[in-house]
């Protein structure tokens, strides 16, 4: 059973985009960071019309994650505090062998970067995952590809 406060994921660069990407569901994401620590951060995100505030702690593949939903007014009040630590991306959701591969195509200062993430319910599924051929190098835990770093640099 998945721990509701533990995020287990793997991250990959994209070797080539899968065919017919436009046929999959997608959303536009805007996010910024209210607090950036070495081992924890607080993120503000708007995914379509859904606004959230998320606390994450820990490195790499398994991190503590706690999230609450905000209404648009709450989001608007907090958003100015993220100045200097923001990013935008289009996220595609591709079903793959009972999982979902999330493809993030970044915009703005990160234009051209494409990364895929897969979240797992447990460590067994994490270790047994075999990525499709179109995924490139695994960068799980590589700080240069963390959203925190991309939003800040």
Identify whether 24 is a catalytic site residue: no
Contacts of 89 (CB under 8 A, 6+ apart): 28, 29, 104, 105, 106, 107, 110
Q: Pairing relation of β-strands 26-36 and 114-120?
A: unpaired
Q: Identify the active-site residue in 33, 92, 106, 145.
A: 33
Q: Which helix H or strand E contains 105, and what residues bound it?
A: strand 99-106
Q: Nearest-5° angle of CA 138, CA 53, CA 105?
A: 35
Are the C-beta atoms of residues 82 and 34 closer than 8 Å to each other? yes
The residues annotated as belonging to the active site are: 33
């Amino acid at each position: 059973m998945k721990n509701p406060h533990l995020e287990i994921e793997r991250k990959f660069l994209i070797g080539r985009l899968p065919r017919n990407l436009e046929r999959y569901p997608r959303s536009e994401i805007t996010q910024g960071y209210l607090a950036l620590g070495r081992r924890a951060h607080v993120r503000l995100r708007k995914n379509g019309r859904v606004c959230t505030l998320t606390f994450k702690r820990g490195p790499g593949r398994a991190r503590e994650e706690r999230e609450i939903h905000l209404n648009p007014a709450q989001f608007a009040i907090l958003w100015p505090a993220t100045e200097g630590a923001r990013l935008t991306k289009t996220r595609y959701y591709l079903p793959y062998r009972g999982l979902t591969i999330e493809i993030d195509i970044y915009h703005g200062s990160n234009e051209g970067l494409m990364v895929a993430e897969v979240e797992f319910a447990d460590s067994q599924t994490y270790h047994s995952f075999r990525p499709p051929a179109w995924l490139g190098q695994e960068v799980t835990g590589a700080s240069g590809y963390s959203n925190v770093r991309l939003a800040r640099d």
